[in-house]
Amino acid sequence: MFLIGKLSQFAGVSTQTIRYYERIALLPAPRRSENGYRIYDDTDIDRLRFIKQARQLNFSLDDIAEILALRERNQAPCSVVMNKVAQQIEEINSRIAELIHLQNELKRLYQVGLTMPEDIEMKHCVCHLIKDGLPKEVDAHA
């Protein structure tokens, strides 16, 4: 039995975010005190902590809603969770690969850029490399 500020402290989630979760029905509308303040109890802490942990594991709010909905219908979400976890491990591999690719391009751009003069015509400096793409092999700029 406590107000939103306490729930925020207990769960480590801002009051703004708690209200947001309520708006999108990720959290149920809590009962209200006479003055209209939201009143929570321990089960709310549990639910919110679950959400927070799942967010830190990069589950989307949609994923989390699905998992919580299963729980509400007394269906064990374990296999759904395991599938999403496996899927995410794969996605992270792809994202890392993309980032490494991007980083390699940036590194190459940087190295080539170091060898080039500034020029306002944007013809022979790093800017022109952005426009035209990096050459396969750096041209001797002859």
State the residues that interact with its own copies by CB under 8 A: 46, 49-50, 53-54, 57-58, 67, 71, 74-79, 81-82, 85-86, 88-89, 92-93, 95-96, 99-100, 102-103, 105-107, 109-110, 113-114, 116, 118-120, 122, 125-127, 130-133
Alpha helix stretches (DSSP H) within the chain = 4-11, 15-23, 42-56, 61-72, 78-114, 126-132
Chain-centre distance for alpha carbon 60: 8
Could you say whether residue 47 binds DNA (CB under 7 A)?
no
DSSP 39: E
Chain-centre distance for alpha carbon 61: 10
Q: Is 137 exposed, middle or buried (0-12, 13-18, 19+ CB in 10 A)?
A: exposed
Please say which residue, 15 or 124, places its beta carbon nearer to DNA: 15
Please say which residue, 82 or 97, places its beta carbon nearer to Zn ion: 82
Chain contacts with Zn ion (rule: CB under 5 A): 76, 78, 124-125, 127
Could you say whether residue 53 binds DNA (CB under 7 A)?
no
Q: 60 touches which of its own copies, Zn ion, DNA, none (CB within 5 to 8 A by kind)?
A: DNA
Chain-centre distance for alpha carbon 78: 22
Q: Which of 38, 44, 47, 67 binds DNA (CB under 7 A)?
A: 38
Could you say whether residue 17 binds DNA (CB under 7 A)?
yes
Distance between CA atoms of residues 77 and 85, nearest Å:
12
Q: 28 touches which of DNA, its own copies, Zn ion, none (CB within 5 to 8 A by kind)?
A: none
In terms of residues, how long is the chain?
142
Residue with tokens 């509308």: 29
